[in-house]
Structure 1
Amino acid sequence: DFGKNIIPSVLKTHRLFAHPFRDKNTGNMMYWRDVGTLDAYYEANMDLVSVNPELNLYDQSWPIRTYQPNTPPPKFVFAQKEGEAPRIGHAMDSMISSGCIISGGMVSGSVLSNDVRVNSWASVEDSILFDGVSVGRHAKIRRAIIDKGVKIPEGLEVGFDPHEDRMNGFTVTDTGITVIAKGAS
């Protein structure tokens, strides 16, 4: 945590300088949010998908510089085979990064990093998925943070039963956010 560990440690051996960021038109402080806990990190990301987020990534007057990988745009797949329920990939109130494929799954109120795959009949709600996460068919994810490269098996439910999530080796925060660390599958 910056405020509790890093800054106090650096202050002991180095000179530090702070620069307040103020809106040049209003004089108001620009965006700052402490994301030093899993719950705070989750809430900051969920704010991004709200209609009027405090940090508006689309505000041209305060551009955000970030790395953009050379991957294709997100893809939403609709397919229907004879005798099979339709697979309609869709996302609502979400931020979907490049390289993602929503193949007949549903994403709602979530932030998906690059190269995430949501397979047929799977659902992701109010969650944060990092690069390369794969959500298997019929899996259900709710109120979760899932680290890079995690493969969610077909039919697994995450974020619905805290006891079951803990039994699966996942972390559950005080506010009920389920966290799946890198290397889990």
Structure 2
Amino acid sequence: MKKVLGIILGGGAGTRLYPLTKLRAKPAVPLAGKYRLIDIPVSNCINSEIYKIYVLTQFNSASLNRHIARAYTFSGFTEGFVEVLAAQQTQYSTNWFQGTADAVRQYLWLMEEWNVDEYLILSGDHLYRMDYRQFVERHRETGADVTLSVIPIEQRRASDFGLMKIDSAGRVIDFSEKPKGDALLNMQVDTTVLGLNPEEAKQKPYIASMGIYVFKRDVLIKLLKEAPEQTDFGKEILPACAKEYNIQAYLFNDYWEDIGTIEAFYDANLSLTKQPYPAFSFYEEEAPIYTRARYLPPTKMMDCQVTESIVGDGCILKNCRVHHSVLGVRSIIQAGSIVEDALLMGADFYDPHIEERQTVCADGEIENVPLGIGANTIIRRAIIDKNARIGCDVRIINKDRVEEADRESEGFYIRSGIVVVLKNAVISDGTVI
């Protein structure tokens, strides 16, 4: 694996995850109470003994830079690094990244400096655990120019992915990015070729790309230099080279979720609370997920009822009820409050004298609302971003069952029926959403 360079694509503006991406890059969005999305591919690389990792991004990269600098520092006796490469102007290019392939192309001069045989290209907004060593070994064994990691998928979700057809040897013979209508039906295949039983193959008649690729070094350099007008791997480069190059499919037969939308992000987080066997577990000793060490105190719970939930470090919960929820680091919930089916991202800091502070309702004065969730507040089916100040007797329950709403001036959005309270928002006492 010393001959592999990891390249993580940080994604574009993250419009589908807005407003969580209003003040941060998509890979920096908090996950599972204490992690960030970028920790997933970086940890997979480290567990696979791939220690040279670039992260390409161009939107709101300050918090991502800070997180990576604090979390991933390798020994000075190795060549290991995790480094953010943000879009920049040069004498050769004055444009921002125009797509996934263009992002790699603009930093190709830097990638070429490393004496590696393969470039491993990953996405920064997926939740999964994968040993890339097996992926790279399969690429080498088949003598492939490019290897794509794939999953079988049902028709309902198929049009959201790049789809392909493969022959009996696993070679990709046709590739189509997010096809619709007749083009979608034309991409149906017999997925028993991947090893699925006939019943599974009937339910999942499509082969979808996970957006994870291994390229031979020389092949990627040639493809990017010969066709500078092609800016995206899935839409242009892979479909154009499917016939000329040996592109192999590698079946990934485990949990994988693209969490690029608010609803998918919400569902993926809350699914972690499932018992006894969540679809994805952070409790794998042999392949841990790494993140920044914060050195926070343990969580304190005083006369609380907490069921089917994940609670991060440094929280203070007072006489409240929490069910089927994820509470991020430094979450504060005051007496009499109820939190159900919710994702609280916590906070970056504590208010002064947080332990002895008793809940005092602010009498409508917004500047007096303390950090966290105030007394006698009810929160259901919501995402509360970091550093939010929610007052007493608040109801965040989507009482009118609204599916979509943009109420940024009032501190929240609604996406797919999920209320999303903005980072640093202040919701005054008695508010009903």
Same-fold status (TM-score > 0.5): yes
* Seq. identity, %: 28
TM-score by length of 1: 0.79
Q: RCO higher in 1 or 2 (8 Å CA, sep ≥ 6)?
A: 2
Among 292, 300, 325, the residue aligned to 1:67: 292
What amino acid maps onto 1:101 in structure 2?
Answer: I
2:130 maps to which of 3, 21, 44: 21
Q: CA RMSD in A?
A: 2.9
> 1:83 corresponds to which residue?
none
Alpha-carbon offset, residue 14 of structure 1: 4.5
Using the TM superposition, give the Cα deviation of residue 31 of structure 1 relative to its aligned residue in structure 2, in angstroms: 4.0
The structure number with the bigger radius of gyration is 2
The equivalent of 2:320 in structure 1 is 105
Q: Aligned to 1:2, what secondary structure does the other structure show?
A: coil
Deviation at 1:7, TM superposition (A): 2.7
Q: Structure 1 residues 6, 118: closer, same or farther in 2, change over 3 A?
A: farther
Alignment correspondent of 2:201: none
Aligned residues: 172
Is 1:178–2:419 an aligned residue pair? yes
Q: Which residues of structure 1 form unaligned runs of 5+?
A: 79-88
The equivalent residue for 1:131 is 346
Question: Of residues 320, 327, 333 in structure 2, which corresponds to 1:118?
Answer: 333
1:157 aligns with 2:395: yes
Q: As a proportion of its length, which structure holds more helix?
A: 2
Counterparts in 2 of 1:99 and 1:179: CA distance versus 1, 3 Å: same
Change in CA separation of 1:29 and 1:116 when aligned onto 2, cut-off 3 Å? same
SS in 2 for 1:179: strand
Structure 1: distance between partners of 2:102 and 2:278: 33
User: For structure 2, which runs of at least 5 residues remain unmatched after alignment?
Assistant: 1-9, 15-97, 109-118, 123-128, 135-250, 348-370, 427-433
> Over residues 126-177 of structure 1, what are the superposed CA-to-partner deviations in whole Å (9 max), with x where a residue is unaligned?
1111122611100000111111110111010102314798664421112x11
